[in-house]
Amino acid sequence: MEPKYCSESRVIRTSRVFPNDVNNHNTLFGGRLMSDVDQIASISAARHSRKECVTASTDSVDFLHPIRPSDSVCFESYVTWTGSSSMEVFVKIVAEDLKSGESKIAATAFLTFVALDENRKPALVPGIIPVTAEEKKLHETAPLRAKKRKEHKKHSKELAAFLTIGQSSC
């Protein structure tokens, strides 16, 4: 399986912030942003693997600056690193004030997807070739994030084993 360039999985989408997208602080609702992040990242994962993919984890979403109704929001995603069947996808969210033209990175996110075969079992994915300085930096730092993901998943499983079911109103 031939490796692919990060750019082959790149997805860019720009949208407006509408009144029903904002919270009580008159900024973009975090849940809305997270939904958009998962959607765009899933397209990058599918483009890279050319297989059905599932979100394995949302590793991080860092809200850096509020996004206001006067802003447009540009989402850019691409695969930065791969395991045998998993892919790390980076999403950069840029807010642009439509009146002043000022742009800023409003949020960043890392998600992990797993490619599935026709039997819904993990499927092999191509490796990744970074080219730009940004792609290379994210690729170089990916093994550390992968290690942290594994540790976090282990702790999450340990916690889940301790938690009880049936004592709440769920």
Q: Is residue 87 part of a domain?
A: yes
pTM for this structure? 0.92
Does the residue 168 lie in any domain? no
Does residue 62 sit within a domain? yes
Q: What average pLDDT score do residues 48-65 get?
A: 96
Classify residue 151: in a domain, yes or no. Answer: yes
Number of structural domains, the chain?
1
Q: What is the pLDDT of residues 62-86, one digit of tens each?
A: 999 999 999 999 999 999 999 999 9
Q: Cα–Cα distances in Å, from 15 out to 69, 72, 107, 117, 153?
A: 11, 6, 15, 33, 33
Asked whether residue 111 is domain-assigned, the answer is yes
* 144-165 tens-digit pLDDT: 999 999 999 999 999 999 998 8
Domain that holds residue 124: 4-162
Q: How far apart are CA 151 and CA 133, in angstroms?
A: 28
Say if 167 falls within a structural domain.
no
Residue 15 inside a domain? The answer is: yes
CATH classification at residue 113: 3.10.129.10
Judge whether 170 lies within some domain: no
Compute CA 117 distance to the chain's CA centroid, rounded to the nearest angstrom: 21
